Structure formats: structure tokens, C-alpha cells
Structure 1
Amino acid sequence: MLRTVDISTSDLDDYRAAVPRAAVDVESALAAVVPVCDAVRDRGEEALREFSERFDHCLPEHLRVPVEQLDAALADLDPDLRASFEESVRRRRAVCEAAERETSSDVIEVAEGAHVTQRLVPVDRVGLYVPGGLAPLASSVIMNVVPAQVAGVGLIAVASPPQADFGGLPHPNILALCRLLGVDEVYAVGGAQAIAMFAHGVPGLCRRVDLVTGPGNIYVVAAKRHLRGIVGIDSEAGPTEIAILADETADPRFVAADLMSQAEHDPMAAAVLVTDSPALAAAVEEALDPMVDATLHADRIRTSLSSQQSGIVLVRDLEQGLAVVDAYAAEHLEIQTRDAAKVAARVHNAGAIFVGSWAPVSLGDYSAGSTHVLPTGGAAHHSSGLSVRSFMRAVHVIDYTRQALLALAEGVERFALAENLPGHANAVAVRRMS
């Protein structure tokens, strides 16, 4: 009944292809899904109702279930089944709370003889991308390699675009940092092709990886999206962005310099000042002109600062300013206000927060000790910057004695039957009856 695959005599670099796995044709599914997503985007609830009829063969009275219906469902729930639900919730919560306290390496006893351990395991092999276009970001070598090494990743490969000025090699600073960090698998490959190389592997050149991390241009981002699922990715990072929340106590030269520093990255970079002080806004604009004129990449900076993604947002007070920056969820957020630390503590959404006049984003880009691989485009609402945990996976190890299973068996069987999965229930029942 079960197909046997004998790989006992095999000695492969990669065993994934030898292990049975269902084929998933994402591309054909995508062709059907994209029109649905577009219709929901364009027509909202009308489309949702249309698709309910077409796919689910019914039309709900309410797309959002009323609270009264939720209350009624709970009231009508079989008491024994409810007990099964509650016990499952309790045990899951106990494990999650232990992980939240960073004691996840401990064995969690959810009941006598019933143990769950959350073991953190590093990714086996990663491909780290280091940009080399408008700015050869050697600092990205540090930001990618160090957390991967601390996580315990055994095999690390780096790719960076070849440079005509350096004989077709990546920038020397990038190569030097790789060597300094003990990374000797480095590729002179850039753009989407580098991501594809990591994801698929190239026979005789590069073994496929499990995870790709690192910033890049729109083509790198597009490749990550296309190949996601074949390979793990850190994020789909877009152009860099800075937001500064400042009041009248801020030094306009500092604010101007910090806005300019991020605009220097890319004509598409975003630089936003949020302030309740018209006087500060005017002073910042006055300080910017001579500062930009005097710098190397003046044209690039002016394009960024004058484009629709950048600007000054005047707010009525600091409360409104906080609401604005929380909604914006900047990759980099500077707080240059009175009592900056207290204000920063109230921010919920940002990739990284820089507190006060003496913590510019440039510090974080290089040597603060923090990461500069951060969520962009509002993704800080739900995502974090690259960290040691980005290179680790949580594996649950479940160890129950016979008595521990038997104490829970009827509840598990009841739960399984409620989901119309009698085979699940039987897997427990055969043990209970043995």
C-alpha cells in the first residue's frame, strides 16, 4: 500500500528529491487565484458574495459572523467536546508562553508524563545576497553573516554582483568582509539570477540553499516573491525609508542631514519628517539646500526628496504625530523630541527606532549593533528585522507516556470525530484498547 523508497545506499548532496512528496503546481493555481484577488481588490464585498455563491454554493447573510452567532455556537457546544477544546487550548498556550519567556529549550510538562519541548534548530544552508549597484553595501555582509553564524548555520554562501571596475569580481570591501568572517563560498552573481541560483542550485557550481536573505533592487524582490516556497526568504524589502518625528527642540541641521542620508541610497528612497513645528519644518528645508549641494550624490538625493514618496507632514501635536508614524510603520524611525525615550516607548510600528539627537540612522546602518535589514513599505506592522531567530526553526518534540495519552484519549477521539476524521480518532483508540 505504501511506496517504499530505499535510499540507504545513496550518498547525495541533497536528499529532498529522493523523498516522496506531492507535486504542487503553484503556477496553474496562480492563474485562477489572481483574477479572484483582483476582483476582491476592485469590487470588495460584491465580489466576495459572488465567489461565495460560485465556490461555496451558498450566500451568507453576513460575511462577518455576528457576535451573537459566536455566543450561540459556544452555548450549544457539547460539554465534553468543549472540555477537549479547552484542554487543547491550555496546552498550546502553555507551550507558547514558555517560548515567549525564552525558556523554549526547557521541557514543558503539560500534565503528568506529558512533555513538549520546543527545540530551536538552525537552518542548514543559507544564501546571503549583498547589493552592489548604486552602493556596494559591504555592511550587509555583517548584517547577514553574523546572525547566521550566531544561529549556528553550518553552510553560508554569499552572492554579490560582479563589478566591471574590479575585473568582474564583487567589490573588494565585500570580499574582504566575507573573508574576515570566515565565509569562503562567495559568488559574483547579482540580481534575480543570484536568487534563482540559490533557490534551484546550479550543478557543478552552487548547491541549492534553504533560505535566502539580504536586501536588493526590485528585480531581487520580484525573484524572491516568484521563488518563495521553493526557497525560504526573509522579506520582500523595497526602497529604503526614514521617518523622523520631531518637535521644536530638534536641531534642524541634524534632521536635514538624516533625511538626506537615506535619500542618498536611491532615487526611490523615502524621507519623511513628521513635526508639529512649522518653524522647524522651515529651518530643515533651509538647511537642506546647501547640504545637498555640497554632497557627492546631489542629483540622486534631490530626486528622492522631491518625489511623491518623501515630504514633511505637519501635525497638530505630538499625539497626532505618534499616530502618523505608527500608521506609516517606517523602516527607520527617528525620535527627535523632548523626552525622546518616553515618546519612543509609545511607538508600536517601526523596523528600528532611533532615540534622540545622538542616534542617527547611519549609526544603525553600520555599527550600532542593531540590524539594518529591516521591513519596508509598511511591513513593520507585522514583520521584524533580520535577526538570529530568522535563521532558526522551531521544532516541537512531543513525548507522552502511555498513561498520559490514555488520560487524554477520549477527548482527542471526540475532537477528531467532531472534525469528521475517524482515522485520527482510531489512531488513538487502538492504543487505548491495547
Structure 2
Amino acid sequence: MTTAPPRPTTLDPEALRGDFAILETRIGDSPLVYLDSAATSQKPRAVIDAEVSFLTSANSAVHRGAHTLAAEATELFEDARAAVAGFVHAAPEQLVWTSGATAGINLIAYAIGNATLGRGGEPARRFALAPGDGLVVTEAEHHANLIPWQELAARTGAVLRHIPVRDDGTIDLEAAASVIGARTRVVAFPHVSNVLGIVNPVAELVALARAAGAITVLDACQSAPHLPLDLPALDVDLAVFSGHKMLGPNAIGGLYGRADVLEALPPFLTGGSMITTVTLDGAEYLPPPQRFEAGTQPVSQAIGLAAAVRYLDAVGMDAVHAHETALERRLRDGLRSIPGIRLLGDADAERVALAAFDVDGVHAHDVGQFLDARGIAVRVGHHCAQPLHRRFGLTASVRASAALYTTDAEIDEFLDAVSGVRGYFGVGR
């Protein structure tokens, strides 16, 4: 029996930065300090090369042709599925390709809506909604895990409820126990808040949903790039993630599902490549994952995402997590020490290297421009989470987010710049 090599537990960001050509960019006279990885991560050369190699040597439609290029493209495409599924400890047939997490959540919501209309036959009846049934989200949702459920409630008569967030940004589990009830059918929540950076209590929320007989939908966009992720071990029914946040290309993502759940869900998009038999009066559909993959697939993007997860595996997700945990402490401790800074969700909980904050007396967009003039890229605005910002009495915040290629020196440069914001704008003197 072959023993697997030990996983790396430390990383040197300076050694990795040579793999990311864009990090050599200068903004005016300043070197780029990229602290917007939660919005979109940078791509290592291996990911770019993988896409280019496919497009220049094997580009063809998958699952459709019998010629040599088509066979090679199909093999590469399915090898990519196996690699990305393995990254989250799933079987290949449990991974559906999507254009991103937003598409994945909409797929789930519309599939449930189709089940409510009677599509999918007896197996899909478990998902059908009746007026008054409950759909539950949290106050910390990205709009992509909120609006699809609002729309599903509007179409079916289901009732959308939310679990509140405490003042420190943590999920109110006591309230969750009362919000999730006997008629709750879906509980959808983020693994990590894209505003607060807090790792949410998956086990507790899954247990509450299980007790109610509800299915769980996990938004893993902000955990997949930063934490070792074992979706079957988390015991969620469905989960989504986006490639562009985890070193991969745009327009590619994954929908993970428990085998029994995917097998019972009716399709959302229909057309070519997801059928077995078609007549002028009806059609029979393939099993998952192909049932949910109608039309031309994002082949080069899938191959690029596979290269991204292989890169992350080579670095070691334990090492990524340890490095970013140290960055998070440096980032949050530094912001805490600057007068006039208010951190959103400042709980001492498990977190990723992300912090959103308000500068007293200075609008977030002005802060962003001040930092950009010094080569520091951050996100400003509501980060597609308006309800959560209202919870904290704000319309916008500044968000700094790190990744495996971020250095201590970059965090320090950012903190030094933030410490000068209020003085520059003549506030707090």
C-alpha cells in the first residue's frame, strides 16, 4: 500500500508570487497591492497555460463527436470534473458544471420550482412546495443566495424567512431554532460571509434543517479558496462555488449535490446533451450530472479550474489556511488599532482573511480612491449584501481581502495607508 506524501502546512507567499504575473503591475508610481481577492482572485500561470493549451491543441465539442479531437476534449473535460470534485472530496458524478455560484443557486431554485409544478415525477415530489412552506436564509446573504429564493417564494406561495445576525456578526443560533420549523423546506446559508469573513456554524444549521426535514444549500464561494473543504463531511445536501474566486477562470463554477438529491431533482435548463430520447411530444433525461448540463459546455474554463485546484492542492490547503489565518489576525488587529475605524462583525470566531470596515466621517468610495492612488486595490460598496449593511446601519463599507499570495508587508502597507485616511480628508482633528 502506497503512503500518500504529507500535505504542506506552511507556504512562502514570496515564492508563489512569481506564478502570478499580474502582481508585477504598477498603479501609477506604486506597486500593486491586491486586496480584492474575495471579489475575484488572480490566476497563476498554470491556469492560464492550461486554457491556452486546450484551445490551441484540443479544442472541440465534448460528448458529441467521434473524431480524435472530440474524444480528447471529452476526456480532458471529464478529467477536470474528477479533479474539481476531488478537491471538495466528492465523486465526479456529484459535480455539475455551472457558469458560477449564481447560476448554481438559480439552478437549484428553478429545479425546486419545476418539482412544484409536478415535473420530475414521483422522485421529485420531495422538493415540491406548497403555499406557506418555509424557505430560510440568513441576514448575511450575498444577493445571489437571496434573490433566487425571493423569486421562488413569489412563484410558489412559499414564505421566505431569515435568521438574524448578532451585533458581533455571528449567526443567532437561538433565533435559528425558532425560524427553522416544521414547514421549512429549504435552509440556504453562506459557509463564510463575504462581508464579515466569519465561518458560520455549518453543523448546527444542518442539524436544525435535518430535524425539520429541510434540504440545505451551502454557498461555499468564500470557503473553497481558503479552507480545506470536505462537502460530504459537512453533510449539506447541495453546495455551490465559483472558479474565479479560487484562482480559476471566469464563467465556471461547481454545483455539488448528494447523489440522492441530484438524482431526484428535475432539470432546469433543457436542450442538447442532457437527454437520452427525444420525440416531438416529450423527452427523457440523462442522469446527473449531465441532466443539468444542457448545451455547449465551458470546456476550457473547466480545464482551467482543474489546473487551479491542482495548484491549490500542490500548495496545500492546510498551508493556505494557516498563512491566511495569520494574515487575518494582522489585518484585524491593525484595523482595530486605528482611530475612527469600525469593523463589521468583529467576533473572535474562525475567520478567513477578509475585513469590512467603515471609516468615521469618510465615505467608503472616497476611502477606496485614496487607497487606489497608492496602488492598493480594495472593494468598496455594499458587496452584494445590502440587507447585511443595513443591519449595521450602513449603505457601504470598505473591504480588504487577502489570498495565498498576499504578504505581511502588503497588509502593513495597507494599514499604514488607512491610518492616513481621516487626516487626509480633514476628519477627526
TM-score range, shorter chain: under 0.3
Which has the bigger relative contact order, CA under 8 A and spacing at least 6? Answer: 2
Bigger Rg over Cα: 1
